[in-house]
């Protein structure tokens, strides 16, 4: 099978590019002298995770308990479930821990700390807990200097063991210069180190000081005081990360293979079988200076076709046109032509698929890797 015969739409993963991305991040972590805990939610794929995890000390981050169970079945034991715990999920956490999975949970408020402590007491179990720190105001967590931090820590009792702090510089997604990225990386580090210091001064043992986002992980110059970094989308990259400035389009390892099924010559449109069901509804680049529509267009070999974009998407139809508005000549892309679309956001596009069609820099398909979805 090759890219000219496999069914479309199909999600293509170029392993050569992915391996380069993995090496780049691993080199950066070595340079910073910090452990790396890849976020496995981007790929949700055993075959990808095996290549991301460091053999000397495999540690992973997950965003759902389904991921935790799936990667535990594949032999991974050291995991952080990096979404604030919903109390009803504790029995599933406990079931994993009872089987030997060292999964840690996250919370950022007194009520959750009390609920976890009560659960551990009633079930005579122990669950390691990280407190979530808000380093930039973008979502969850306690501000590093907020008095609530010590309050939450003091409500972790019985088997609910405070072992660390965690933050995610989601705000780094909004910037796109090296100076601002470095600034966000510093802010993330300063925030988490401050939180760890305050807890230690109050007598808590803090073993894990965890931070990360792909932009800050790749931009940080000094992570003194940090024990581990998390990042996810670096493994595939995407147009959004290109807009942030941490990769080029050559670094994007996933693309959607589509087939031309029609034209609107008067409008200069090429219609393909790759709509939002296959690309996702993600329009993340709309908020960036370089809005890429529903994706940029490459030929079947992955070479960017300058000036083209996916300007519209219905459920199973994609509309390709010139970004300039000048009409496209449909004869250049006859019915049956195969094209590859670079996605705005690798996490959301990959989530629309249950497998990766794997290539190695050419048209030949060398493997098909399944991925999971759901909760």
| C-beta of residue 320 within 8 angstroms of C-beta of residue 299 | no
**Size of the residue set binding a second copy (CB under 8 A):** 62
Residue 353 lies near a second copy (rule: CB under 8 A): yes
Q: Which is nearer to a second copy, 117 or 227 (CB)?
A: 117
Q: Rule CB under 8 A: say whether 85 interacts with a second copy.
A: yes
User: What proportions of the chain, in percent to the nearest 5, are helix, strand and coil?
Assistant: 35, 25, 40
Among 19, 26, 123, 140, binds a second copy (CB under 8 A): 140
Q: Which residue among 112, 117, 219, 288 contacts a second copy (CB under 8 A)?
A: 112
Residue 352 interacts with a second copy (CB under 8 A): yes or no:
yes
Per-residue DSSP letter, 249:
G
Residue 202 or 335: the one with the smaller Cβ distance to a second copy is 335
Binding mask 285-304 for a second copy (x = CB under 8 A): --------------------
Of 257, 253, 179, 355, nearest in space to 25 by CA: 253
Q: Which listed residue (135, 196, 278, 358) binds a second copy by CB under 8 A? A: 278
Nearer to a second copy, 21 or 64 (CB): 64
Nearer Cβ to a second copy (190/354): 354
Nearest to 281 by CA among 344, 239, 374: 344
- DSSP secondary structure of 181-217: HHHHHHHHHHHHHHHHHHHHHTT----EEEE--HHHH
For a second copy, the binding residue among 249, 316, 323, 360 (CB under 8 A) is 316
Judged by CB under 8 A, the stretch of 3-11, 25-33, 70-78, 201-209 that binds a second copy is 3-11
- Three-state DSSP at 9 gives coil
Helix (H, G, I), strand (E, B) or coil at 69: helix
């Amino acid at each position: 099978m090759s890219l000219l015969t496999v069914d479309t739409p199909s999600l293509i993963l170029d392993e050569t590019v992915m391996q380069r991305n993995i090496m780049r991040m691993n080199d950066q972590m070595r340079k910073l002298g910090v452990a790396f805990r890849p976020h496995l939610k981007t790929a949700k794929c055993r075959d990808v995770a095996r290549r991301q995890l460091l053999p000397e000390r495999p540690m992973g981050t997950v965003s759902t308990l389904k991921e935790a169970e799936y990667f535990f079945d594949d032999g991974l034991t050291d995991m952080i479930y990096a979404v604030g715990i919903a109390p009803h999920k504790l029995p599933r956490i406990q079931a994993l821990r009872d089987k030997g999975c060292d999964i840690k949970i996250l919370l950022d408020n007194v009520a959750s700390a009390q609920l976890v402590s009560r659960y551990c007491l009633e079930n005579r179990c122990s669950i390691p807990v990280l407190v979530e720190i808000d380093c930039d105001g973008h979502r969850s967590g306690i501000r590093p200097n907020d008095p609530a931090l010590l309050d939450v820590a003091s409500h972790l009792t019985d088997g609910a063991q405070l072992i660390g702090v965690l933050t995610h510089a989601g705000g780094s997604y909004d910037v796109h210069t090296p100076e601002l990225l470095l600034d966000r990386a510093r802010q993330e580090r300063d925030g988490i180190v401050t939180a760890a210091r305050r807890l230690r001064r109050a007598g808590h043992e803090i073993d894990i000081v965890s931070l990360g986002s792909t932009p800050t992980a790749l931009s940080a110059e000094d992570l003194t005081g940090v024990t581990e970094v998390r990042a996810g989308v670096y493994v595939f990259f995407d147009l959004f990360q290109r807009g942030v400035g941490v990769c080029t389009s050559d670094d994007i390892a996933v693309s959607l293979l589509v087939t031309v099924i029609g034209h609107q010559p008067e409008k200069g449109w090429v219609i393909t079988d790759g709509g939002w069901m296959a690309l996702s509804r993600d329009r993340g680049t709309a908020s960036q200076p370089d809005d890429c529509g529903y994706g940029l267009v490459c030929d079947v070999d992955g070479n960017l076709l300058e000036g083209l974009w996916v300007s519209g998407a219905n459920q199973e139809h994609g509309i390709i046109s010139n970004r300039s508005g000048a009409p496209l000549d449909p004869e250049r892309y006859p019915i049956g032509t195969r094209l590859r679309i670079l996605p705005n956001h690798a996490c959301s596009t990959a989530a629309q698929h249950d497998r990766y069609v794997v290539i190695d820099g050419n048209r030949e398909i060398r493997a098909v890797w399944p991925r999971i979805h759901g909760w």
